[in-house]
Amino acid sequence: MGSRIGLTSSSAQVNIDFLAGVSIFLVSFLLVVQLVPNLFIPFQGQPVTLHSVAYRTGVILCEDPGWYNDTVNNSGYNWENHSDNVSRLGLAKNKFTTNSSTPLMLSGSKLFCLAGMYNSSDPGSYSKIQKDLGLVTSYRKYDYNISLVRFDGITSSYMNGTPIFQIGYSPQTNIDIEKVERIVSFGMYDLPHTYSRTDFNNSRTVTDMVKLPISAYRICIESGYTPANSPTISINVTNGTSTIYQMNTTTYPTSDMPVIFDLSEEFNKYDDSLHNINITFNNTIGYCYSSHAGDLVGDKLAAKLIVQVW
């Protein structure tokens, strides 16, 4: 008779059910490992592509002055004077000493030219800018919307409320959109019709009518009209019915010149309406400055250039 292996034998034993279970688990695990990365590929590819396009567009606009080439081989950075021969759109302000740009310091003339190139009722103007921005590739076209916005989220505007810079189609809500924001700046006087300035000369009262909220409001005493005497100034702000802000007459020694009051934050505490700002000054040379284009940072206006691509 054949021998039987006892339960206490050291010979190998494999339970057929255990072997089958391990095999099924390993096969399933390998399938999951292989399939899971592929599940996310369709959702990763498009946003990454859009982000790179939006980022590149923002960088070129903010850090590059642009370039043009005409039919007789003339070329240069001042494409705003040759808008029919643009090779590359850029809004950065040129340095006067070299041909390089001033990153994030935008040129008012370039900004106005690009805004003027766009006509919402002319699809051809949209397509030309789309091509000049490098948004037309061999495999697809990218739509765009580019605008200038204040830090409080309100569109940068002329003093009459018209937007300064807003080009492109309005983005749809049911598609992937990539949005890039860049902080940019301008000289206080680089954007004509976007500011109001009233000069002080000796002694009188001026009344400035301002619609709140306002992004920038500054009063500056530069010097005394007569050097031997100190200038004085008082400020009274009314909303048509009552006084909402008042600074009593104050004397400033000539040794403190210039004296600057940035009052936009103070004024914006009050209601959204027209206000009369009455400024009485004596023996004063200076000015008051207001703008809806951006926030005053030193002697520059700052805002956000928002680039949306889809």
Asked whether the CA dihedral 269, 273, 279, 285 is positive or negative, the reply is: positive
Q: What is the mean predicted confidence (pLDDT) over 63-84? A: 88
- Predicted TM-score (pTM) of the model is 0.77
Q: What is the average pLDDT across 37-65?
A: 75
Task: Band the pLDDT of 305: cuts 50, 70, 90.
Answer: very high
Residue 36 clears pLDDT 70, i.e. is over it: no
pLDDT at residue 11 in the model: 52
pLDDT of residue 285: 94
In whole angstroms, give the CA distance from residue 216 to residue 202. 24
Is the model's pLDDT at 254 over the cut of 80? yes
Confidence of residue 47 (pLDDT cuts 50, 70, 90): very low
Retrieve residue 17's tokens.
């059910």
280-300 per-position pLDDT tens digit:
999 999 999 999 999 998 889
Q: pLDDT digit string (tens) for 229-248?
A: 899 999 999 987 888 889 99
pLDDT value for 271: 75
Among 188, 262, 260, residue whose Cα is nearest residue 222? 260
Residue 227's pLDDT band (boundaries 50, 70, 90)? Answer: confident
- How many helical (H) and strand (E) elements, i.e. helices and strands, does the chain have? 4, 16
Please give the angle made by the CA atoms of 6, 10 and 11, to the nearest 5 degrees. Answer: 80
Average pLDDT, the chain: 86
Average pLDDT over residues 50-59: 93
The CATH classification number of 195-291 equals: 2.60.290
How far apart are alpha carbons 164 and 214 in whole angstroms?
Answer: 15
pLDDT grade for 200, boundaries at 50, 70 and 90: very high
Please report how many Cα atoms fall inside a 13 Å half-sphere around the Cα of residue 216, on the Cβ side: 31
Q: Above 70 in pLDDT, residue 207?
A: yes
pLDDT at 26 over 70: yes
pLDDT reported for residue 310: 94
Query: How far is 137 from 204, CA to CA, in rounded Å?
Result: 61
pLDDT at residue number 5? 47
Say whether pLDDT at 2 is over 60: no
DSSP 136: B
User: What mean pLDDT is predicted for residues 178-186?
Assistant: 94
**What average pLDDT does range 103-123 have in this prediction?**
92
Least confident of 15-19, 35-39, 140-144: 35-39
Q: Strand ranges (DSSP E) for 62-192?
A: 67-69, 75-76, 86-88, 92-94, 101-106, 144-149, 166-168, 178-187
pLDDT at 219: 93
- Where does CATH 2.60.290 sit in the chain? 195-291
pLDDT range class, residue 40, cuts 50, 70, 90: low
**pLDDT score, position 45:** 47
Give the pLDDT band (50/70/90) at residue 103.
low
Residue located via tokens 């103070």 = 266
